[in-house]
Amino acid sequence: MERSPLITRISWGEMEVEGLPSGKDFVLYPGGGSVWDWGVYGTRHEPGIRDGEVRELLGRGCAVVVLSQGMERRLKATPEALEVLREAGVDVYVDETRGAVEVYNRLAGAGEAVGGLFHSTC
């Protein structure tokens, strides 16, 4: 399995990820990633990250999932999304964005099958 791309820079409203154009929010997984389009599943700060989004990460082979809450911890995760991850038996980390990036990069650098959802503003 290919390594998950590292996040090389994070600042308010902008992230840089290996092999991808810079952007604001990202979905990352082993072998790649893309800009995170909140409109696909109707994501909003509340109720938060949806179960469809984490199912996509699981479908990409993620054994560990990192969910960022935004720089000011305003992004929530729905109970349904967390339940999907619990039922799948994957390790889950939920943290403020900079902390989430730190955990994600450590795991990706160690070759773990890690994926994540990263929000670079509030």
Burial of residue 68 (CB within 10 Å: 0-12, 13-18, 19+) is buried
Q: How many residues does the chain have?
A: 122
Strands (E), the chain: 7-11, 14-17, 25-29, 32-35, 64-68, 91-95, 114-119
Tens digits of pLDDT across the chain (122 residues): 799 999 999 999 999 999 999 999 999 999 999 999 999 999 999 999 999 999 999 999 999 999 999 999 999 999 999 999 999 999 999 999 999 999 999 999 999 999 999 999 99
Token look-up 């994540």 returns: 116
What are the structure tokens assigned to 82, written together?
Answer: 């967390």
Q: What is the pLDDT of residue 18?
A: 97
Q: What is the pLDDT of residue 22?
A: 96
Q: What is the pLDDT of residue 97?
A: 97
